A and B are shown apart, each in its own frame.
Chain A
């Protein structure tokens, strides 16, 4: 067990390191950040001095060294735009993104699993075929467009939901969470629904595929031969087995949600870190971009790790190696 954890830890660190190198290289070769910090009418001497302060006059390797050492200390420098530590800016907005992602995932699961089970157990029924056509449509839709349509219908046209922004927040453990207020929910519904659609469709399809695969297995028939009713066989015997492939992609789907949150947050002006990223890209606010990427890389690496652990908990045949 300990050996496994150690191995994973080393792997995770390796991946993060590689990501840091890539991020650093990309950032270095794109544009000259010195012009973000000096005023328009700076003299050459002032520019040169700024370069020295930012360490841009050093060799790439030295720059990278400084980059890494400050990185592990959590110091990513100040945002060029806000003049505040980039890390703080991102972390402030993290709860908002996490909220939306969690609600979207919960929504996706709540719809996808039951429908997927039904469609898998009764593959030829009319309803199932409609569900499957719907799910195919779900993965064909451009998410941002759906968001817009929802805004237009529910916010502009019918005025039921707000078109942008996050609702009122209440504080819990020092974090500002909007899910604790009714107004918060009022604001989160449209963005969360928008975000959840693609994941919902994919999870539905995987659940259905899993159920159909499981239905072919001998042990299902054997359970029926014992006299178990159909429904028991489906849910008690089949479902857990069918969900194994779903768990495999669950981690990836969570990652996708975080990624697509950038777009959703932009449309709905949701003050999360995704919106901050997009804005920072426009404004070439390098430190913020770097923080976002490293943080997100960390989150993904941790999610993958946790999914593997969960996997072994569910399937007794799999052991940690």
Chain B
């Protein structure tokens, strides 16, 4: 840990305002998500706690606002701020889990493709190429329309879309590593494949994977929000930020903007924070730019 704090990485981190802002935003959300249920008085999905008399209160700085609900309330008296915290949980949960799943599956397939080559490689890469020529949102949309809504279905759809980038990257690294002489020598000496993977391939592929994984969380949050907005994402009982925006859309034309605008701001800040940090990571971890 001390090595981290003394490293050049940390030195550049402290000098990069974007990295600091980015990670500050991410930390804020992480905290909000973890501590949310404890700091917010109202559980917005506990019907019993809602009071219809509180419905459509504007944010506290506007006329008619109520300091108890600083960002206002929605049509059922739900506190927007509480909804955002709960919704962010779901969004982040989905983003992170899907990322991990994609990473795992993608890396595995990439390793297989790189190591065994031949037909297996061709098939995997063909599928990847075809998938890449279509926009991921469309694929996800299509899958969701076929399998129905639900958090688990969203995770499957996102993973189905997200594995490709890992597979390609890992395959590329694997191919270039096994060409190297010291790996060939190790193979001749009888080193088993999994050891080669662990000692030679994985360390080299780790840094681009970290960058990809970080940014992918943000991408997934956006895709999930879009799917939920269209009604094919998360179910109403466990709304994510996207669904909150959708619900707010209906009353937008009456001038009740806060129920949809604030969740959007939350998504924006979260993804922006992730991207800022991810950008910084990419520049830092890229040996070519050094």
Instruction: Determine whether A and B are in direct contact in the complex, meaning some CB atoms lie less than 8 angstroms apart.
Output: yes
The verdict on A139 contacting B130 (CB below 8 Å), with A145-B245, A145-B264, A152-B261 known, is: no
Chain B at the A interface: SS class: helix
Chain A neighbourhood of B229, CB < 8 A: 142, 144, 263
Question: In the complex, A262→B138 CA distance in Å?
Answer: 9
Whether B275 contacts A139 by the Cβ 8 Å rule is yes
Question: Which of these binds chain B: A22-30, A86-94, A118-126, A230-238?
Answer: A22-30
Whether the pair A148, B146 counts as a contact (CB closer than 8 A) is no
Pick from A140, A258, A301 the residue with the most CB of B within 10 Å: A140
Structural contact, A149 and B261, CB atoms closer than 8 A? yes
B135 touches A (CB below 8 Å): yes
Least Cβ–Cβ distance between A291 and chain B, in angstroms: 13
Q: Which of the 9-residue segments B42-50, B54-62, B167-175, B247-255 touches chain A?
A: B247-255
Shortest Cβ distance from residue A155 to the other chain B in the assembled complex, whole angstroms: 8
Say yes or no: is A189 at the interface (Cβ < 8 Å to chain B): no
**Known A136-B272, A278-B230; contact A145-B260, beta-carbon cutoff 8 A:** yes
A15 CA to B129 CA in the complex, in Å?
Answer: 10
Q: Which residues of A contact B218 (CB under 8 A)?
A: 140
Instruction: Output the residue of B143, B252, B279 with the most chain A CB within 10 A.
Output: B252
User: Contacts A26-B146, A30-B147; is A15 near B257 (CB within 8 Å)?
Assistant: no
Pick the residue among A136, A163, A300 that contacts B134 (CB under 8 A).
A300
Q: CB of A297 within 8 A of chain B?
A: yes
Give Cα A282 to B283, complex, Å.
43
How many residues of chain B have a CB within 8 Å of chain A? Answer: 43
The majority secondary structure among interface residues of chain A is: helix
- Contacts A15-B133, A140-B272, A142-B267; A148 near B245 (Cβ below 8 A): yes
Interface status of B276 (Cβ within 8 A of chain A): yes
Residues of A within 8 A of B135 (CB): 252, 255-256, 258-260
Q: Give residues of chain A (243-257) contacting chain B, Cβ–Cβ below 8 Å.
A: 252, 255-256
Interface status of A54 (Cβ within 8 A of chain B):
no
Complex interface: chain B residues within 8 A of A267 (CB):
249
Interface flags for A255-296 (1: CB within 8 Å of B; 0: not) read: 110111011001100000000001001100000010001001
- Residues of A in contact, count (CB < 8 Å): 46
Q: Which residues of A contact B268 (CB under 8 A)?
A: 137, 140-142, 145
Verify A304–B133 contact, CB threshold 8 A. yes
Bound form: Cα–Cα A61–B253 in Å: 50
Q: Which of chain A's residues has its CB closest to B129's CB?
A: A15
Q: Does A18 contact B (CB under 8 A)?
A: yes
Contact B137 A301 (CB under 8 A): no
Interface centre among A27, A156, A281, A300 (most CB of B within 10 A): A281
Separation of A281 and B143 alpha carbons in the complex (Å): 11
Verify A136–B252 contact, CB threshold 8 A. no
**Measured CA separation A256–B222 after assembly (Å):** 14
**Which residues of B sit under 8 angstroms from A215, Cβ to Cβ?**
none
Bound complex: CA A278 to CA B246 (Å): 14
Does chain A have a CB within 8 A of B71? no
Residues of B within 8 A of A255 (CB): 133-135
7 closest Cβ contacts across the A-B interface? A145-B264, A259-B135, A140-B271, A140-B272, A259-B138, A26-B146, A281-B145
Chain A residues within CB distance 8 Å of chain B: 15, 18-19, 23, 26-27, 29-30, 133, 136-137, 139-146, 148-149, 151-152, 156-157, 163, 252, 255-256, 258-260, 262-263, 266-267, 278, 281-282, 289, 293, 296-297, 300-301, 304
What are some 24 contacts across the A-B interface (CB < 8 A)? Answer: A19-B130, A23-B142, A29-B146, A30-B145, A142-B226, A142-B267, A144-B226, A145-B225, A146-B264, A148-B245, A148-B249, A156-B255, A259-B137, A259-B138, A260-B135, A262-B138, A263-B226, A263-B229, A266-B230, A281-B232, A293-B142, A296-B138, A297-B134, A301-B133
In addition to A140-B275, A142-B226, A281-B232, 5 A-B residue pairs with Cβ atoms within 8 Å of each other are: A15-B130, A26-B143, A142-B225, A145-B245, A262-B230
